[in-house]
Amino acid sequence: MLCISVVGVMLAAMGRIAISRPGLLLIFFFFFFAFAWRLLSVLYIDVFGPVYSEQLERELGPGFAVLPLAGSQALVLAALLISFRPRRLRALSDDSVIRLSAVLKTGDWSLTHVAFRVVGLFVLALWIELLIRGHIPLFAGLERFDYARLYGGPLNQRLLEWGPMLAFQLGILLSLPALYGKPLDKRFGALFAALILYLFAVGHRFSSFYLYLSFLMVPMGAALLGKQFKGQISLAKLLRRVWLPALGFVLLVGVALVYSYGVVRAGETVAIQTKLVQRILVQQGEMWWMTYERVFLHNDWNSDHAFFKLFVDPFNPNRNSTMQFLMEIGLPLERAHFIIAQGAAYTGGWPEVLFELGGPAEGFCLVAISAILFSEFMFLLTRCLVEERYVTCFFLTPVFYTLSIFLVSGMVNSFIQLTFMIKIAAAVFAYVLEDRWRWSMITATASVAGQAVV
């Protein structure tokens, strides 16, 4: 009963944020969805346990594993609410914010026109590449991984690496008119739809659509936040506006899932119900349950070993070391290495990795630190979006992607890569450059108009 109440409170808190601030829901949809799913999965294991896990080949539950998980998620929600507090949001409203267009002279080569042509060419080239290579997974019954490995071209590969970040850029351009109270720029909506249809054709299912859509919605959420204090936006109004594309999207995801399980994996249909229960209710929470059992029940954690396996000697340093480490300590070593070598990984990672590093008490401190850093970064990103700092947003995108993947799958080894440090350096440079340049422009404009700059 305690577990159910705690999960109920957490879901209610997320629902309350969604209703009162739909902008925040759009910005954090990726995280809220993952959080809610994991909570329900762990609750299922806690309440209906012992539950057999196919992946771990053991029974899980019952217990109180959902309590520390809900506590960790509550810390993130609290940090988000503090970072996005009303005073700060008021500073982002139309009355207070100074946008780029206000300080920039008009001229040739519109940003949106150029971006539309560049991204349009890329999407067109993607489709051409798919057609000339001849194997369309949708019709050939191929898995997306097999297509990428056997037939996927260089553009397909680039999309797999950078796709969510491209979706984020499309979101910025799509929602740009919304900052001025205009309808969304449908050209970029069409490009996104073409991209999603491409993913559907190359065998992607739920997870890619969820990731791309979440990244597309972040800038739209930032644009909505700017309107929050004018009282124009409510969740119902928002849903009324986007019901048609949303319905189309849901239908596409449904068709992709049915096609995947019904046609591509037709041989497995006998066990489809078991597979769905495992996929939806067990696999999302099983790794957290293992961490809960080790750290909270048996007090068995080793920071040094965790640090070594995460940062110094992961089995495959080119992939998420967190899940590799969790699998190594949760499964027989040979089986874990066999699965990792196949390229597969289980679900979860955050906050497991922080409790494996810090133990039950310091783990919460690490969760709090990660929550504060994340929420402050998200506010910075939102501010840059609202103030139309496009160059900064462009360079913040890979950092945002890395942080998002950390908060969902606990990936920490990307933070120590040289490429990530270069991305951070580029983002710092772009931020300071654009910030100082904006200030110089604002002061120059204010001096001409004879106004004081605060």
Partner 1 sequence: MSSVQPQISILEYFGGLSTFLNRSVRKQLGTIAIGTLAVMFAVFLVSQMAPATYTATAGVRLAQVDGEDLMTPQATATQMNQRSFLVRALSASDEVAGPDDRGRNLILDSFNARPNVADALTLVVTAASEKQARDALESAVNELNKEQEKLRAPLVSELSAQLALEEENIVSLTRIRESLATGDSISPSAPGDASALVLRRVWLLDLTTKNEERLAVANAERRKLVSRMGPTKTYPASLSEDVTIVQSSPRPIRHAIFAGAIALLALLVYAMIRMPGSARAH
State the residues that interact with partner 1 by CB under 8 A. Answer: 94-95, 100-102, 104-114, 176-177, 179-182, 312-313, 315, 333-334, 337, 388, 390-391, 425, 428-429, 432-437, 439-444, 453
> CB-hemisphere CA count at 13 Å for 374?
27
Q: Which residues pair with 51 in a beta bridge?
A: 60
Q: Give strand pairing partners of 59.
A: 52
Q: How far is the CB of 438 from partner 1 (least distance, A)?
A: 9
**Angstrom distance (rounded) from CA 119 to CA 85:** 35
Nearer to partner 1 (CB atom), residue 99 or residue 275:
99
Note every long-range contact of 398-402, with CB atoms under 8 Å and residues 24 or more positions apart, other chains counting.
398/165, 398/423, 398/427, 399/423, 399/424, 399/427, 400/168, 400/218, 401/164, 401/165, 401/168, 401/215
CB of 25 to partner 1, least distance (A): 23
- The CB-of-115 to partner 1 minimum distance in angstroms stands at 9
Smallest distance from partner 1 to CB 212, Å: 25
Nearer to partner 1, 140 or 421 (CB): 421
- By C-alpha distance, which of 300, 298, 204 is closest to 259? 204
Report d(CA 351, CA 344) in Å as an integer: 20
Min separation Cβ 232 and partner 1, Å: 11
Nearest 5°: phi and psi at 410? Answer: 70, 15
375 and 74 in contact (C-beta within 8 Å)?
no
β-partners of residue 60 are 51
Nearer to partner 1, 181 or 254 (CB): 181
37 vs 315 by CB, closer to partner 1: 315
Instruction: At 414, list the tokens.
Output: 């990307």
The distance of closest approach from Cβ of residue 309 to partner 1 in the complex, given in angstroms and rounded to an integer, is 11
Closest CA to 378 of 407, 414, 341, 337: 407
Task: Please give the Cα distance from 310 to 261 (Å, whole number).
Answer: 34
Shortest Å distance, C-beta 87 to partner 1: 20
In the bound state with partner 1, the residue whose beta carbon lies nearer, of 361 and 418, is 418
Cα–Cα dist 278/127, whole Å: 35
Q: How far apart are CA 165 and CA 400, in angstroms?
A: 9
Minimum distance of partner 1 from residue 440's CB (angstroms): 3
Determine the Cα–Cα distance for residues 178 and 345; give it in Å rounded to an integer: 39
CB of 39 to partner 1, least distance (A): 34
Amino acid at 386: V
Decide whether 104 or 280 has the Cβ nearer to partner 1: 104
Nearer to partner 1 (CB atom), residue 33 or residue 315? 315
Closer residue to partner 1 (CB): 94 or 362? 94
Question: What is residue 319's three-state secondary structure?
Answer: coil
* Residue among 118 and 132 whose Cβ is closer to partner 1: 118
Supply 52's token pair.
Answer: 């057999």
